[in-house]
Structure 1
């Protein structure tokens, strides 16, 4: 008979390593590590998805316990029930939906949960447990055009890994752009030069909140022909760092290094004149001279004044400003959506330009989420007329 492995309330534990790395594991009530989960999560340590997978996995393991299931007894239909429970917006048969009081997973979270569960149970099968379930999860499919585009010279394998747990809903282009004129309205209701700078850098740079709050002063090369030699114009190097005191982390993990006091590599983002102007105004008037941490964004009030500013603080500032400006709830990521759309419009739909300007991993991401066509564009109009058969 299979031994019950899940007892009591499981929780995610962050682990800070001596070299500055941060990883995540799952602990049992007594404080011991859940080996089955840790062996899976350690494969993603430092890959940018370990934290997300840890929280997705601990929720699933709690559900297993509530259903009196173990790693060995759970089946494919059980996993389908779980995916339905976390994505349910209404009551499901035989009781309430899982995660009562919390919002159901959206398409993106469901896709992440599907990837996490598939990887976890394939890992368990590699250890000799529940190979029947792994066989049902380890499916293959024919490659699509997008798969071939991602491969070198258009070549792709004959089959591609498929996930039967992933949601079948089509991906939508992201509708959450900033309201028209939002940048100016937000600038009018904030009083801090730091906050004005944040709005300028989110608007013109397309930064993620974690990227902006993780910037160091040494990452900024705000003059022409900087010493790094990697970009002729003013630019910033977005460098992924673990263990920052404000817990900010850049999502992308481009290779970077410090040579002779000069940052090289990382994700390079161009900096606009407005961004430079607001930077110098902030540095000359508000940046504390005693700050020894070398980070760009700092807190300005209370006992924590001068300490690095967390991404959550940036999000709350933008949200409060949106309410004061009567724009509704504004999120920092909306600036990124608007930035991507503006770059696409200005470059006549050039996906490569938009990808590199915003630091996305692939043109497919930009195409699926942001790309669109102007219905008044002459090319669009000519194409429709050709289809209609009119001059």
Structure 2
């Protein structure tokens, strides 16, 4: 079964397989599969990056047609021109911005697009198409200290893949966090027990909005000493599932299973705070629809979809509207993760491992890079400076 996500000259097509797997491809205007795109995207089916690569690639293929080029003859300087256009905000030496009316790609999105383009052209160069471009893109570099520390037996690595299209990496040293007192202000504007549950769970659970909306009731072990035996305290199992009705899914793909005893084991286990547990019981007792067969935690409360699973976009809009009503401006759900991780890092005395596991981050390097910087108002920071200045 296929659902069109974007109607245009070329469009991304979502395919839901009979076994529940989800994959993405790109369709021609006449309804035929784009063969070059499909060959590449099949390599990433089910990887978690397939949807992102599909949208990055469809934009590039549209640009090729706009410029009168094709994948078999495009040159390296054409790809450089595309990367300049897709990230441009104003006309520049590379020409007018390509994404007119939309925000230009930031550093992270540009690096993703560069990775997609390199993979696409190197893959087809291996099949005999545009081999010179593939040779120009398939470069190597010396491994850095960080590469060696991240890789298993990294000291044996002599070369790492390099991408000449990728921009210089920019460290995200100042993530956008919630305003002071945002939680209390948001709770006052939350109009239902479900919305208050969302605020509490985003605040205390460090959940991404897709993970929150993808939770099933069986994933919640909110009493001490649950039957899973994986955590003695109330906790939640984040389980990656494809093909959910609301298109929500967890980002990470930790192995999990539903045992014969009906108990979920595995996934990413996260502790649940007392406020998360209280908000859950308030919501289940007052608002959860009786007889809901989908088994998901959060449901729509109004309109034609009443009682159906709540989509991540609905949760984003709820958070944004509540923030506007509270006078906080536009609030994005991901700001809760930034605030939570920063708070845990401060409370643990800078322990990166605790912050990593509490927030479900991929590595301590990510936590250190984004969050581990000193508070300039810290007394120890002030004392160190005064010692150096000779004014202690």
TM range (shorter): over 0.9
Provide the C-alpha distance between the structure 2 equivalents of 1:220 and 1:184, rounded to a whole number of angstroms.
Answer: 25
Which position in structure 2 is the counterpart of 1:165? 165
Q: Is the 8 A contact 2:107 2:170 kept in 1?
A: no
**Alpha-carbon shift at residue 357 of structure 1 (Å):** 1.2
List aligned pairs for 1:220-239, cutoff 5 A: 220-239=220-239
1:32 is aligned to 2:32: yes
1:347 is aligned to 2:348: yes
Which position in structure 2 is the counterpart of 1:203? 203
Which position in structure 2 is the counterpart of 1:251? 251
Provide the C-alpha distance between the structure 2 equivalents of 1:295 and 1:54, rounded to a whole number of angstroms.
Answer: 28
- What secondary structure is seen at the aligned counterpart in 2 of 1:15? strand
- What secondary structure is seen at the aligned counterpart in 1 of 2:358? helix
Provide the C-alpha distance between the structure 2 equivalents of 1:180 and 1:253, rounded to a whole number of angstroms.
Answer: 33
Which position in structure 2 is the counterpart of 1:296? 297
Q: Is the 8 A contact 1:143 1:156 kept in 2?
A: no
Residue deviations 1:344-387, cap 9 Å, x none?
Answer: 11111222111111111122221222222123445545655676
Residue deviations 1:258-314, cap 9 Å, x none?
Answer: 002000000111100010011001101111112111100011112221110000000
List aligned pairs for 1:133-148, cutoff 5 A: 133-148=133-148
Residue deviations 1:296-350, cap 9 Å, x none?
Answer: 0011112221110000000000010011001000011111111111111111122
Which position in structure 2 is the counterpart of 1:46? 46
Provide the C-alpha distance between the structure 2 equivalents of 1:240 and 1:386, rounded to a whole number of angstroms.
Answer: 51
Residue deviations 1:106-152, cap 9 Å, x none?
Answer: 11110100100011111011111111111111111121221122123
Provide the C-alpha distance between the structure 2 equivalents of 1:311 and 1:156, rounded to a whole number of angstroms.
Answer: 43
Please identify, of 138-147 and 76-85, the stretch whose mean Cα deviation from structure 2 is larger. 138-147
Residue deviations 1:194-226, cap 9 Å, x none?
Answer: 000100000001100000000000000011111
Which position in structure 2 is the counterpart of 1:119? 119
Q: Is the 8 A contact 1:174 1:337 kept in 2?
A: no
Q: Is the 8 A contact 2:81 2:94 kept in 1?
A: no
- What secondary structure is seen at the aligned counterpart in 1 of 2:9? coil
**Alpha-carbon shift at residue 21 of structure 1 (Å):** 0.9
List aligned pairs for 1:17-166, cutoff 5 A: 17-93=17-93, 96-152=96-152, 155-166=155-166
**What is the TM-score when the length of structure 2 is the normalising length?**
0.94
- What secondary structure is seen at the aligned counterpart in 2 of 1:14? strand
List aligned pairs for 1:242-281, cutoff 5 A: 242-259=242-259, 260-281=261-282
Provide the C-alpha distance between the structure 1 equivalents of 2:174 and 2:213, rounded to a whole number of angstroms.
Answer: 24
Provide the C-alpha distance between the structure 2 equivalents of 1:38 and 1:127, rounded to a whole number of angstroms.
Answer: 14
Provide the C-alpha distance between the structure 1 equivalents of 2:375 and 2:95, rounded to a whole number of angstroms.
Answer: 47
Which position in structure 2 is the counterpart of 1:5? none
Provide the C-alpha distance between the structure 1 equivalents of 2:149 and 2:169, rounded to a whole number of angstroms.
Answer: 22
- What secondary structure is seen at the aligned counterpart in 2 of 1:47? coil
Q: Which 5+ residue runs of structure 2 have no aligned equivalent?
A: 1-7
- What secondary structure is seen at the aligned counterpart in 2 of 1:152? coil
Aligned residues: 384
RMSD: 1.7
Q: Is the 8 A contact 1:179 1:327 kept in 2?
A: yes
**What is the TM-score when the length of structure 1 is the normalising length?**
0.94
- What secondary structure is seen at the aligned counterpart in 1 of 2:309? coil
Q: Is the 8 A contact 1:147 1:156 kept in 2?
A: no
Provide the C-alpha distance between the structure 1 equivalents of 2:308 and 2:130, rounded to a whole number of angstroms.
Answer: 49
- Are the structure 2 counterparts of residues 153 and 169 from structure 1 closer, same or farther at C-alpha, using a change threshold of 3 Å? closer
Please identify, of 57-66 and 142-151, the stretch whose mean Cα deviation from structure 2 is larger. 142-151
